Structure 1
Amino acid sequence: MPSDALNRALADPGPRSLPEPVVRLLEELDAPPRLAAHLRLVHDVAAELVAWAGERHPSLGVDAEAVLFGAATHDIGKALHPAELSGPGAEHEPAGHAFLRERGVEERLARFARTHTSWAEPDTGIDDLLVSLADNVWKAKRVPDLEQRLVEVLSAASGQEKWQAFMDLDDVCDRLAAGADRRLAFQSAYPVGGGTESTA
């Protein structure tokens, strides 16, 4: 039975709701409430990026379902490795991917649990780059090398000059980063553990 704090993190007003299959997975895990809040925030930002890409760069061929599911589950492995919620570690990446695959989630959707930090790999596609971007810009963290990879993909797909693609991406990142304080406050309102409050 999910904790009251998890139920609140999943349902409180704020960022858009997670896809129902993801909600069920988090309830099955009795996931830490702060993790659920974090996943909602990254999913919300990813939805904004998907809408922006569809409007400004339709030739990218973004798989919206994959990006949104990927953003909603990218850190699900932290429910299995809760120390990584407030400290470093990468064990959550293969663990989250394995958990999703064991639950019948297809690789097209499950892969983001293990790829969301490996955007520098040469074969990383647009969907993975967007999930990685959402996972950083939600808290106003700008990663120049990641954004440069996106600029190259945007320019190649649209025929825009790289400086134009850079300006376009920079504008959307600035707009999204402007909401970081509100998002951080939302995430901090939920405990890392199942209790009512936590300072972690």
Structure 2
Amino acid sequence: MSDVMLSEPDAGLASPVVPRKRPTREAAELAVRTLIEWAGDDPDREGLVGTPDRVVRAYEEFFEGYRIDPVDLLGRTFEETQDYGDMVVLRDVRLESHCEHHIVPIIGKAHVAYVPSDRVVGISKLARLVEVYAKRLQIQETLTAQIADTINEVLKPKGVAVVIEAAHMCMTTRGIRKPGVTMVTRRLIGAFETDAELKRDFLSTISGSRETFG
């Protein structure tokens, strides 16, 4: 893992991405020990002695999206489409992210669609794109926009649509504690925004699956 993290500028600013040094693994583990002590337990007792290491390793998985360039991920495309011009839909992509306000899970699914212009991308890359952005600290609105905007930027299709349905543990397990509540966000670009029939077709295609999260 690199010891440098890239700190993205605020939206709308022209400032470049600024390299930021990543704390050491030892510092991260010490921070976990501090949280255990703050919670009221003993980090040196048998059941917790290995927890700082395990938490840091878990964070490496939870937030691996910071180490992957989503634009590069979609870089390999294919021109052999036999003039296919209808929408391509990837439905029910499992999504696991973490709320940037409380660092607790966001669990749900994403539906991703685009209408090719002259190139297509492997469907596994679309699922991986969802995962890359999900494996970062997020709010669902930003996550939805990032997925759609990257597909639009790289593939330059006739249209892009992304819908995310997810449960937020910051709402279901703490605070107002409302289990069973699902948040839905969507981003429609190009033909999906201007063509009412295409929009209806897409929404109808993804409406066949319903699941309760959290």
- Provide TM-score, normalisation by structure 2: 0.30
Higher relative contact order (CA 8 A, sep 6+): 1
Over alpha carbons, which structure has the higher Rg?
Answer: 2
Query: TM-score, normalised on structure 1?
Result: 0.32
Higher helix share: 1
Higher strand share: 2
